[in-house]
Amino acid sequence: MEPADRSQDNPWSGRFARGMSARLTAFNTSLPIEERLFECDVEGTRAHVSMLNAVGLLGDDEHRALQQALDEVLAEWRAGAIKLAPRLEDIHMNLEALLVDKVGQLGKKTHSARSRNDQQATAQRLYFRRSTRALIDAIHACQVELYAHCRRHADLIMPSYTHLQRAEFTHYAHWLATYVVMLERDRSRFEDALRRADECPLGGCASTGTSLGIDRELSARLLGFSRPTRSSIDAVSNRDYLLEFVNHAAILMITLSRLSEEIITFSSQEFGFLALDDALCTGSSIMPQKKNPDVLELVRGKSGVVVGNATSLLVICKALPLGYNKDLQEDKTAWFSALDNCMSSLALIGDVVQTMTPSAERMVAATRSGHILATEYANYLVKKGLPFRDAHRVVGGLVKRAEADGVDVAELPLAVLRDASALFDEDIRAMSVREVAAKKNSVGSCGDVALPALLQELGALLDDYASRRGRDAG
């Protein structure tokens, strides 16, 4: 239902001789972007009404009538029975009009000791907490998929890369677990942002508070905040928590973009390390053989959108004077875009990781060329007492010789190795990629001690988060 068209719904009708033009009404309204905040506005209004009752600004019967009306409005909203009116500009005036429809003039008392400035700031903080927690859960779910995939394929060997050139070698699980580590940093950034946003703006009013005897501490407790905002001016003008969010979101999307790029690369025919599930790929309208990783390319593209969201919100806020300014109506465009793109990208990356299939044969074959044992040949000489820089020079010369002969450095005859350095002995022939990988046991590396330790640590982090969320939900 749409609230009845009453002139008194215009909150500034006493000051103006004429109403807004149709063009300004369409330009000014925030409804298309902020409708998702409606339930949070009901929640904030519920707490405000309870506070007004507690301090004597609303009678008990008035309190009960308004709470019942709020219950009815919320039920109707969830049932899809409410259509918000653009002429009322925003969700706040729509909510007040809906309450007036139900309880008459009493509905207007909900605006006592409250401005739309602190009302909006409160609804946004409430939605921020809820949606950011959901995003953190989505990051955790993506981490769980990555971790489970690592566990399923813990023994696979693959090349490692620098400059996208074969450099050394590692375990497939070591490569993929690195993204669990990176996502843990992303998750922690949003956790930090939640802690700093844990202040209630309600009661800041237009910007300088109110002479009415309100209880801001009670409002904060009723809404689950740790405390009220310290400054009433800051309560309505602060969007730092959103600036943090969109910048953290940009970093998160860069993490997902980098993972997408590597999966795209490794699933190409040139590499063939991974096969993607048909359900997560697309075909070509002209080339029957094509199987395109469009979902990953879209994630990579959406990372640019979210970086743009971060830039947009920074520019919106960069020169605003204190207090509320209408520019801040645009904060939600950047915020919601960043949020939605992160949520959809995390879910689809999780699907890709869950269903992709590694090719052990292609990975191992790639470790048999590219002189991938060269660094270990240098380390071999270091263990025999040669300074590393000299060992590097010796092995560099051997690589040059191998390339001239058209072979890998590991295929050079022992006599050629000994010509380069008398320290080479028969045991060099026993060196293998898998054997050396098993011995790389510095903390965080890919060895048969270090990698299980890393996976155990990551598993404990993921379990700890799940336990904490379970306790919070309980």
Residue 172 one-letter amino acid: Y
**Residue 308 to residues 182, 213, 299, 330, Cα–Cα distance (Å):** 22, 44, 14, 14
- For the question of residue 163 being annotated catalytic, the response is yes
Q: Which residues contact 422 (CB under 8 A, 6 or more apart)?
A: none
The residue from 13, 268, 284, 467 that is catalytic is: 284
**Residue 334 to residues 27, 121, 234, 316, 341, Cα–Cα distance (Å):** 18, 16, 21, 10, 11
Beta bridge partners of 227: 199
- For the question of residue 284 being annotated catalytic, the response is yes
* Dihedral (CA of 292, 362, 255, 151) sign: positive
Within 10 angstroms of residue 231's Cβ, the number of other Cβ atoms is 16
Nearest to 183 by CA among 368, 353, 314, 20: 353
| Residue 163, both tokens | 């400059």
Q: Can you list the positions of beta strands (E) in 272-369? A: 274-275, 357-358
Within 10 angstroms of residue 365's Cβ, the number of other Cβ atoms is 12
The residue from 7, 163, 285, 442 that is catalytic is: 163
Nearest to 299 by CA among 269, 343, 268, 332: 343
The rounded Cα 387 to chain-centroid distance in angstroms is 46
Active site residues: 163, 284
